[in-house]
Structure 1
Amino acid sequence: MEKRVLGTSGIEISPIVMGTWQAGKRGWVGIEDSEIIKALQAAFTAGITTFDTAEIYGDGYSEKLVGEALAGIREQVVLATKVFANHLKYEQVIAACDRSLLNLQTDYIDLYQIHWPAGAFGNEIVPIGETMRALNDLKTQGKIRAIGVSNFSGQQLEAASQFGRIDSLQPPYSLFWRYVETDAMPYCLAHQISILAYSPMAQGLLTGKFGPDQKFPPTDNRSQNKLFQGENYQRAQLAVEQLRPLAAELKCTLGQLALAWVITQPQAIAIAGARNTEQVLANAQAVEIKLSSSQLQQIDAIARQVTDYLDNEPVMWNWKS
């Protein structure tokens, strides 16, 4: 799998990154540790060398599974994790990083990211300069190699960049959720900041596996995803059906088509979650799909039947942030 460079860091990452939110189990159902570990190892064998996690995913549980699965090949993979919005004071960032290092069974983190801006989910507002000072110190000490941010607006990204080099932004980004294109993407393109798109298959909606009457239990985070609700969901169902003939023409699945679209976008990488080996191998194959300009235009027109009707809020869920 051909590698891409993360921002200006020199770190080479795979165009498909394995996301591990589901490995933390909280907010997901039907997740088995043994299957996750097999999937992580299969991802590496298939050419996916970059893995994204976070301290908040099961309070470190996801990090521990990633560390366990990849311990024997640490030098051959790129590990990315995140510090949550309740740990953004200087000493808290340092302590959180040390916990993540322990969980991941490593002495350095390739990409360390601020998961949500200060103040999110009712947490204390900490000046970005203080958080960045901690991250810069960790970088100087060699505990982290690059700094990234997640769920930041373009304005917040620009503010953070005044205090140090930011090499990546991690926003929700898919055919059905494109807020970043008009917000932070122009700044990313101008400053060589990689866009690590999470939920590139819209939490499974773009795989076509959910029918018109799909209901999720309250414990599943998709029950609060705006794309799975009301008229948004109905429009998405129609759009998915219109994408099926194109996927058939390309001899790929709908999910692979969605991933291929994301990694065709400027400076974009797709973070794709998987709960088993079958899913991760399918995700890895998306890099083989080449989309023509006419196909990209066709996909864009179909997707806008969904995105043109969404609200102008950056968060994909009805959470209080």
Structure 2
Amino acid sequence: MQTSRLGQSELFISPVGMGTWAIAGQGWEYSWGAQDDRESLAALEAAVEQGVNWIDTAAVYGLGHAETLTGQLLQQVPASRRPMVFSKGSLVWDANSGQISHSLAPASLLAEVEASLRRLRVEAIDLYQIHWPAFPATGPSDGIEAAVAALATAKQQGKIREIGVSNFDVAQLKRAQAVAPIASLQPPYSALMRDAEQALLPFCEAAGVGVIAYSTLQSGLLSGSMTRERIANLPDDDWRKTRSADFQEPRLAPNLALVEVMAGIGRAHGVSAAAVAIAWVLRAPWVTGAIVGARRPAQVGALLAAAQLVLSAAELGEISRYLPAGMGTNVPGQVA
């Protein structure tokens, strides 16, 4: 795949990268349900074989399990094809209860970096991001400056290559930039979640901050394979079933109508609705890369087709007629 520079950093990334939230396994608060680790690794390896050069993970995904899996992948793949690894910190958990909490304390973040290095089995993490400035999202974001300064120290020590942030607004991003160069922002962005278009993404483009979009398929809702029946049959420990408003009425019906439109456009190109949804995200000039997730290797190719798909003005116009009137928000309560 062709690569693009991530902001003003030294990282050049493929337009699509693999996320690991969905493969983090069960037994934690934001689980997608049971998952076979062998299939997870096979999916990641298939993506690397097809040109993906970065994996996005986080310490909290599966309470360390997603990072451990990513570390296994890095050991399996020959050095010549080894992808870059991006991780995130600031969400920590109690070792006994598994309860997740938030901390921007420098000592906590530096300890998280060390733990991530061990799980990933690398000497340096290519991009290390502050996962949330506050959690829940409506909480106070005190400590941003000290947190970024701590990561700047880790960068000087060679433990991370670049500093990124996730789920920051413009004001919070400016505070971070005042302390150290910020390579990238990771915001939620999809056809169903467009709040960032108003100010945040244009600011990043003007400021030279790279953008890595997450939730590009709205947690699988825009994949083309999600039906009412499948949603009803999701396991009870899949957070989407009961905690995502987009998977419930009154949003569900118009959301599925949008998917049908994307599926029709996809058929004309010989690609899936998922590829159309991802290409819609990548059409934006301010987006450097889009995170996608796959739980099985057979799912990977259909997602990566988005990297070569260019939607026409007419197709974009057709999609726009089915976009929800509100900008949409589904962030509070998520860990992505």
Settle same-fold status: TM greater than 0.5.
yes
Match of 1:179 in 2: 195
Moved more, 153-162 or 70-79: 70-79
- CA separation of 1:122 and 1:227: change in aligned 2, threshold 3 A: closer
Give the match for residue 225 of structure 2: 209
Q: Show the 5 A alignment for 1:169-318.
A: 169-213=185-229, 214-215=231-232, 216-223=234-241, 224-268=243-287, 269-302=289-322, 304=323, 306=324, 308-309=325-326, 313=329, 315-317=330-332
CA contact (8 A) 1:118 1:127 kept: no
Matches within 5 A, 1:71-110: 71=75, 72-73=77-78, 76-85=82-91, 86-110=102-126
Structure 1 SS opposite 2:61:
coil
In the TM superposition, residue 36 of structure 1 has moved relative to its aligned partner by 0.6
Structure-2 separation of matches of 1:319 and 1:78: 25
1:217 Cα deviation after fit: 3.8
TM-score under structure 2 length normalisation: 0.88
Matched-pair contact (CA < 8 Å) for 1:226–1:318: no
Partner of 1:20: 20
Determine if contact 2:184/2:212 at 8 Å carries over to the other structure.
yes
- Structure 1: 5+ residue stretches without partners: none
What is the 5 A alignment of 1:35-74? 35-71=39-75, 72-73=77-78
Tell me the amino acid that sits aligned with residue 289 of structure 1: L
2:201/2:286 contact within 8 Å kept: no
Q: For the aligned residues, what is the CA RMSD?
A: 2.2
**What runs of 5+ residues in structure 2 fail to find an aligned partner?**
92-101
Higher mean alpha-carbon deviation, 114-123 vs 290-299, is at 114-123
Give the Cα separation in 2 of the matches to 1:320 and 1:147.
Answer: 19
State how far apart, in whole Å, the 1-side matches of 2:321 and 2:43 are.
Answer: 34
Q: Is 248-257 or 153-162 further displaced after alignment?
A: 153-162
| Partner residue in 1 for 2:96 | none
Q: Is the 8 A contact 1:89 1:126 kept in 2?
A: no
Structure 1 residues 64-92: Cα deviation after superposition (integer angstroms, max 9, x where no partner): 10011122445632110000243421111
SS in 2 for 1:81: strand
Distance 1:177 1:253 in 2: 20
Q: Which amino acid aligns with 1:103?
A: R
* Matched length: 316
TM superposition shift of 1:281? 2.2
CA contact (8 A) 2:136 2:333 kept: no
Write out per-residue CA displacement over residues 236-292 of structure 1, whole angstroms, 9 at most, x where no aligned residue.
112222233211112111001111111121131110011011112222222121222
Q: Quote the Cα distance in structure 2 between the aligned partners of 1:21 and 1:196.
A: 15
C-alpha contact 2:110 2:154 (8 A) present in aligned 1: yes
With structure 1 as the length reference, what TM-score do the two structures score?
A: 0.92
What is the deviation of 1:296? 2.1
* Contact 2:167/2:188 (8 A) holds in 1: yes
